[in-house]
Structure 1
Amino acid sequence: MQLKRIVRKKKAELPYTGIDGKPLKDLKFSASRAENLAMLREIFKDIDVLKVREFANRHDSSIQGAIVYFEGLANGETVNENVLYPLMKTPIAPPEGAPLSEILSTVLPMGDISMAKDFEDLVQRVTYGDTAFFIDGVDQIVIIDTKGWQTRSISEPESEKVLRGPREGFTEGLMINLSLIRRRIRSNRLKMKFQSLGDTTHTQACLCYIEGIAKPEMVEEVKRRISTFDMDGLLDVNYLAEFITDSPYSPISTVGITEKPDVVAARLLEGRVAVLLDGTPIVLSAPYLLIESFQSDEDYYVNYLYASISRILRILAFFITISLPAIYVALVTYHQELIPTPLLISISASRQNVPFPTILETFLMLAVFDILRETGIRMPMGVGQALSIVGALVIGQATVEAKIVSAPLLIVIAMTGITGLMVPKLKSSAMIFRAFLLVLSSVLGLYGWIFGMAALLLHLLNVRSFGLPIITPLSKPSWQQLKDLAVRAPWWNMRTRPSFLSRNRVRMGPSPREKSQ
C-alpha cells in the first residue's frame, strides 16, 4: 500500500529541481556564455565531478565558448581530441555569419550532434555522458555524443548456461544490447523506439518489435502500459514488470525475462514485443505463456526428439517438486493403507523416536534446503558450491542420526529440491505452490491435495498476459500450435507462427520433402 501511495503522487509533489521557482524546462538559454555557465553551475551545484572548460579560438580570440561534461560518464579522450581541440585550433566564422549548425558541421568530427531543447533536456543529456557546448553570441547549446563510461564485457549469463547454441549475454549497456539484437535481425522492419522513464532517474527504455509480424494492437498495448509508469526511479526491469502485469497478485509471471540476445530475437520473430532498459542485462518480453517456463533456448539447437524428452521431463519435474512433499505428508498422516506394507514398515521404523509430527519436520527440512540454496547463490562461486554440498551432507546425516527427521523424508526433500532446479523460471512460483499444497494436505489429506491442484488449475485459467490466457494454446488447441508445446516438432514441420501472436503466420516456404515431391 505504501508503494501505491508513492506512485500515485502527482508530479508536482515530487522533489523540486528548478531554479528560482521555475522548472528547468521553462528556463531559456542566453546568448551570454557567462550567464549560461552561471545557470549550469547553479543547476549542478555541489557536484564535483562536473567539468567546465572555457576556451577561445586560436584564429579568432573573439570567439569564446565553453564545454560542460561529467567526468567518468564522458570519454575524456574523445572530448579532448574530437571536441576541444577542433574548436580551439580550427578557423571558425563568426556566429553571425552562418547558423551554428552549419559551423559545427565543418568543425567537429563527431557523428551525433544535436541542439538542446531546454535546460531540462540539457541536464538529462549531460548526466547521460554527453558534452554540452556553447559560445558567446549564440542562444543555443549544442549536445555532442561523447559517452564513454566503463561497461561489463559480453559473457555468458550465469542463469542461462547452455551446452549448445550462442553464449553471448546482455550487459548493462543499452546500446550494446540493442546492437546484439540488431546483429541477429538485420531488417529495416525491426523497430526500436526510445522512452525516458522515472522522474528522477530518467532511465532510457527501448521498445522493440518487428513490423508486419507483431500485432499492432499488442504493440500499442505495451506502449500504453509502459507510459503509465509514474515513479521517481527505475533501476531494474522488475519495477516495470510489476506495473504492466495483468495479474499483480499472482505468483505466476506474466512477463517473460531473459539475458540472451538469441532468445529475444526468437521471441521477436514470433510476434512478441521486447522492452530493454539501460543499466540492466535483463530484457522483458510480452506476451508470456506458461509453457515458455518449461522451454529452453537450447531446445531449438539440439535434435527435436531429445528436446521433446527434455521438455516432458521438466513438466514432470515441476509436478513432482510442488506435489511430492504434500503427497508424502498426506499418505503418512491420513492414508497409510495406500502405502505398500513393506514400505510402510520401513517408514514407521525410521520415524521411531522422531519428536516432530510429519508436517512440522517437512516444513523444517524444506526451510533448511532453501537456506542452503540461497547461501550457495549469495556466496562467492567456489565457496558457495562447497558450502552447499558440505552443508547438505553434514546436516542431512546429522539430522537423521539425531532422530530429528526421518530418512524417507530426507529423500523426499532431496527429490523435491533437485526437480525444482530443473525449472528455474518457476522457482519462486514452485515454492508458493508447494507450501499451499502442503498445508492443505496436512489438514485434509489427499483430498486437500486434489482440492489444491484444482484451485491452482482454476487460477491458471484466469491469469492473462496482456489479454492472452497464459495457458494458450491449450485453451484453444490446434495441431499447428501444438507442434511447439510439450514437444518440439522438427523445424521443417513448423511452417507457421502461432496465430495468437501474429497475423503474419507463414515463416517458411515448402519443406524439403514437399519440394522433392
Structure 2
Amino acid sequence: MSTSDSFAGAKLPADQLEQNIRYLRDLFTGDDTLVFRELENDRGEQTIRFCLVYADGMVNGRLINQDVIHPLLEFVFQPDEGASLIDTVRLQALFSNDVKKTDAVEELIQAIVYGDTVLLAEGCPQALILNTKGFVIRSIAEPESERVIRGPREGFNESILTNLSMLRRKIRTQDLKFKFMTFGRRTKTKACICYLDSVVNRSVLTELERRLEKIDIDGTLDTNYITEIIKDASYSAVKTVGSTERPDIVASKLLEGRVALFLDGTPVVLTVPYLFIEHFQADEDYYVNYIFASIDRILRVLAFILSVCLPADYVAMVTFHQEMLPTPLLMSIFTSRQSVPFPTALEVILMLVVFEMLRESGARMPGIMGQTLSIVGALVIGQAAVDAKIVSAPVVIVVALTGICGLMISRLKGYVIIHRFFLLACACFLGLYGLLLGLLVLLTGLFAMTSFGVPIMPDVYAKGMQNYKDVYVRAPWWTMIKRPKFLSGNKVRQSGGGEKPQ
C-alpha cells in the first residue's frame, strides 16, 4: 500500500469499470482486507454498474448500506445530456454527508487507507470519495498522567477529529484556525496546527511552520517523533516543546498566544513556545484559590532546587567542608559512617541509582502493584543497606528526601536526573565551589536558551508586573489584565482596569 511519488499526477486509466477495478486491485496486490463490492441498478432504461472499494475494518458498514448501497439500487436514473452519471450520483442519489469527485490515483489511495469509500461507475473516468470512516477509537477519559481533583475530567484520544472537536467546544469562535498537513512518507499521518488568529505570536507560528515543512521522515507514530526534530537545543535535556493530553490546557495556552500541534493516532498534543516555568505550573492552579495555587508553585520550585542540589550539597559538606556543619550533626554523621566501606560520594551515587531503578520498575508495573513495589522495595532495601553497613543512615535520608522532592516535579524528571548527577560530579571534585560552578553553567545555559525565538527563562529586566502575574505565583484573575508580551502581540486579556468586580 505505497503512495510514493510515482503516483503524483496519475489518473484513472479509463472510463471502463472493469479496467479501473483491475487497476486498483493491482495497486493493492497482497492486501486481503480490500473489498470490491459491485452493484447493478436496472430501475432505469438501462442497467448501470457500480463498484465500491474500501478497506474492511476501516469503514462503517451500516453507513455504507444506508447511505450508499440502498440509494444506488433504488434511484431511478433518467437520461440527461446536461449532466454526467457521476455528477447525478453525487448530487441526487447519495445520502453521504461528504462526497468528493476526483480522478487522481493518489487521492483515491489515500481515501481508501484513511477509511473512506471509493465509488467507481461504468463509463465514468472519475470516481467519488465518500466519507464512511467507522473504525473503533478509544472513548474519552481522564488522562492517567494528568489527573486532577478539581477541574475538567476529559482528555484527548487517538482520533484527531475528535480531539479538534473537543478543542472547538472550549473555544467557540471563528478566530480559532486549523491548518492540516501530513507527515511520513509511509504512514501519511494527518496533523493540524491550531491557533487563535488575533492572539497568536506570528513569529512563533511562522517559525513552527518553517520547521515542520522541512520534516522528511518515513513515518510518525507519536508527537515525540516531531518534537525531537523541531525542538531547540536538540542535544539538551531541557524541554522547549510542551505536551499535554488535556483539552482545557491546550485551550488556555492558545488563549495566551501559543500554537498547538495535533497528530492523528496519539492523544498527546504539542504546544509552543514552552517556558521553563511551565514545569512548575500544575493544571489545578487555575481551578483553586490563587493563594493556595501560589503556595503550591513556590513549594514545587523549592522541591526542584532540593532535588537537584541536595545530594551534591551533602557530599560537598561532608567531604570538603565539615567545618560548616554543627558539631552534633557532624558527630552523628561520622558515627553512622563507621564500618561503611565506601566513600560518601559513592554511597550517594549507589543509592540514587537504586532509587531510580525502583521508580522505573514501579512505573512499568501495573497500577497498585507498581506503587507497592516502589514503596516496599525502597523501605526494605534502605533498611537492609543500613543494617549491613553498606550505606549510612544520613545518605538514605538524603536520597529519600531527594526522591520525594523529585516526585513533586514529575515533568522535569529527565532534566532533574541528569543534572543531579552533573552537580554531584562537580561537588565530588571541588566541593561547594564545584557545586556553585556547576549551577552557574546550568543557569547560563537556561538563560541563553530559546523556544521558537522566545527565551524560556523570564526576563529579569522586563518592565511591568503584568508579565509576572502568572509565573512563580498566580495572581487573582481580575488583576491579570494583559497577556505576557513575549507570548502574544495582542496584549489585552480583559477590560476593567484591574479592579475587582463588586
Superposition TM-score, scaled by structure 2 size: 0.96
User: Is 1:419 aligned with 2:402?
Assistant: no
Q: Report the residue type matching 1:24 in the other structure.
A: F
| Residue of 118, 139, 143 corresponding to 1:157 | 143
Matches within 5 A, 1:72-471: 72-93=57-78, 98-99=83-84, 100-116=86-102, 118-471=104-457
Provide the C-alpha distance between the structure 1 equivalents of 2:38 and 2:501, rounded to a whole number of angstroms. 71
Residues 58 and 89, structure 1, Cα contact 8 Å, conserved in 2: no
Provide the C-alpha distance between the structure 1 equivalents of 2:462 and 2:329, rounded to a whole number of angstroms. 43
Residues 95 and 52 from structure 1, CA distance in 2 versus in 1: closer, same or farther, beyond 3 angstroms?
A: farther
Q: Report the residue type matching 2:16 in the other structure.
A: S
Post-superposition CA distance 1:170-207 (Å, at most 9, x none): 11110110011000100001001100111111100000
User: Is 1:32 aligned with 2:16?
Assistant: yes
| Shift >3 Å, 4+ stretches | 15-18, 93-97, 511-516
Report the CA distance between 1:500 and its aligned residue: 1.2
Report the CA distance between 1:460 and its aligned residue: 0.5
Residues 479 and 499, structure 2, Cα contact 8 Å, conserved in 1: no
Partner of residue 67, structure 1 = 52
SS in structure 2 of the partner of residue 249 of structure 1? coil
User: Is 1:57 aligned with 2:41?
Assistant: yes
Post-superposition CA distance 1:152-178 (Å, at most 9, x none): 111111111111111111111101100
SS in structure 2 of the partner of residue 106 of structure 1? helix
Report the CA distance between 1:58 and its aligned residue: 3.9
Report the CA distance between 1:37 and its aligned residue: 1.1
Q: Report the residue type matching 1:305 in the other structure.
A: I
Residues 151 and 173, structure 1, Cα contact 8 Å, conserved in 2: yes
Residues 63 and 94, structure 1, Cα contact 8 Å, conserved in 2: no
Residues 93 and 103, structure 1, Cα contact 8 Å, conserved in 2: no
Provide the C-alpha distance between the structure 2 equivalents of 1:339 and 1:415, rounded to a whole number of angstroms. 19
Residues 474 and 171 from structure 1, CA distance in 2 versus in 1: closer, same or farther, beyond 3 angstroms?
A: farther
Residues 58 and 90, structure 1, Cα contact 8 Å, conserved in 2: no
Q: Compare 120-129 and 451-460 and name the one that shifted more.
A: 120-129
Report the CA distance between 1:477 and its aligned residue: 4.8
Provide the C-alpha distance between the structure 2 equivalents of 1:246 and 1:190, rounded to a whole number of angstroms. 26
Residues 3 and 186, structure 2, Cα contact 8 Å, conserved in 1: no
Residues 388 and 477 from structure 1, CA distance in 2 versus in 1: closer, same or farther, beyond 3 angstroms?
A: farther
Provide the C-alpha distance between the structure 2 equivalents of 1:95 and 1:404, rounded to a whole number of angstroms. 93
Report the CA distance between 1:515 and its aligned residue: 6.3
Report the CA distance between 1:473 and its aligned residue: 4.0
Superposition TM-score, scaled by structure 1 size: 0.93
After superposition, the CA RMSD in angstroms is 1.7
Q: Report the residue type matching 1:78 in the other structure.
A: L
Residues 219 and 273, structure 1, Cα contact 8 Å, conserved in 2: yes
Q: What are the ranges of 5 or more consecutive residues in structure 2 without an aligned counterpart?
A: none
SS in structure 1 of the partner of residue 8 of structure 2? helix
Provide the C-alpha distance between the structure 1 equivalents of 2:501 and 2:338, rounded to a whole number of angstroms. 70
SS in structure 2 of the partner of residue 240 of structure 1? helix
Residues 479 and 498, structure 2, Cα contact 8 Å, conserved in 1: no
Provide the C-alpha distance between the structure 2 equivalents of 1:312 and 1:513, rounded to a whole number of angstroms. 26
Partner of residue 6, structure 1 = none
Q: Report the residue type matching 2:37 in the other structure.
A: R
Provide the C-alpha distance between the structure 2 equivalents of 1:364 and 1:288, rounded to a whole number of angstroms. 34
Q: Report the residue type matching 2:50 in the other structure.
A: G
Q: Report the residue type matching 2:495 in the other structure.
A: G
Q: Report the residue type matching 1:45 in the other structure.
A: T
Q: Report the residue type matching 1:362 in the other structure.
A: V
SS in structure 2 of the partner of residue 52 of structure 1? strand
Report the CA distance between 1:474 and its aligned residue: 3.5
Provide the C-alpha distance between the structure 1 equivalents of 2:463 and 2:156, rounded to a whole number of angstroms. 34
Residues 204 and 277, structure 1, Cα contact 8 Å, conserved in 2: yes
Residues 481 and 498, structure 2, Cα contact 8 Å, conserved in 1: no
Residues 425 and 507 from structure 1, CA distance in 2 versus in 1: closer, same or farther, beyond 3 angstroms?
A: same
Q: Report the residue type matching 2:356 in the other structure.
A: D
Post-superposition CA distance 1:213-255 (Å, at most 9, x none): 1033322221111111110101111111111112111110001
SS in structure 1 of the partner of residue 29 of structure 2? coil
Post-superposition CA distance 1:262-288 (Å, at most 9, x none): 000000001000000000000001111
